[in-house]
A = this chain, B = another copy of it.
Amino acid sequence: MQKDPSIPQLDFPKLKVACKECTLFQLCLPVAVSEEDLGLLESIIRRRRPVQRGEYLFQMGEPFDAIYAVRSGSVKTYTLIEDGREQVTGFHLPGELVGLDAIGGGRHACTAKALETTSLCELPYSQLEDLWSRIPSLPRQLVRIMSKEVLHDQTLMTLLGKKSAEERLASYLLSLSTRLGQRGFSSHEFNLSMSRNDIGNYLGLAVETVSRVFTRFQDEKILTVQRRNVQIHDLAALKRLSNYPNILRSYPSSP
| A residues lining the B interface (CB < 8 Å) | 60-61, 79-83, 85, 87, 89, 100-107, 109-110, 129, 132-133, 136, 139-140, 142-151, 153-158, 160-163, 201-204, 243-247, 249-251, 254-255
- Asked, given contacts A81-B246, A139-B143, A161-B204, whether A251 binds B105 with beta carbons under 8 Å apart, the answer is yes
Residue among A85, A87, A102, A156 with the most chain B CB within 10 A? Answer: A87
Q: Judging by beta carbons under 8 Å apart, are B158 and A246 in contact?
A: no
26 residue pairs of the A-B complex, CB under 8 angstroms, read: A60-B246, A61-B250, A79-B155, A81-B163, A81-B244, A82-B245, A85-B243, A87-B162, A89-B154, A100-B147, A101-B147, A102-B147, A104-B144, A104-B145, A104-B148, A104-B255, A105-B148, A105-B151, A105-B247, A105-B251, A107-B247, A132-B139, A139-B139, A143-B146, A153-B157, A160-B204
- Asked, given contacts A82-B249, A145-B104, A244-B81, whether A109 binds B157 with beta carbons under 8 Å apart, the answer is no
A80 to B146, CA, bound (A): 22
Number of this chain's copies in the complex: 2
Residue of B nearest to A80 (CB): B246
Question: Contact partner of A153 among B132, B142, B153, B246, CB < 8 A?
Answer: B153
- Asked, given contacts A103-B144, A157-B87, whether A246 binds B150 with beta carbons under 8 Å apart, the answer is no
User: Which residues on the B side are within 8 Å of A249 (C-beta)?
Assistant: 82
Q: Judging by beta carbons under 8 Å apart, are A87 and B158 in contact?
A: yes
Having A101-B154, A104-B147, one finds 11 other A-B pairs with CB under 8 Å, namely A60-B246, A79-B158, A79-B245, A79-B246, A87-B157, A102-B147, A105-B251, A110-B154, A149-B150, A156-B157, A161-B201
Residue of B nearest to A79 (CB): B245
A79 to B152, CA, bound (A): 12
User: Which residues on the B side are within 8 Å of A254 (C-beta)?
Assistant: 105-107
A147 to B149, CA, bound (A): 10
Q: Judging by beta carbons under 8 Å apart, are A247 and B160 in contact?
A: no
- Give the Cβ gap from A199 to chain B, nearest Cβ, in Å: 12
User: Which residues on the B side are within 8 Å of A203 (C-beta)?
Assistant: 161
- Give the Cβ gap from A192 to chain B, nearest Cβ, in Å: 19
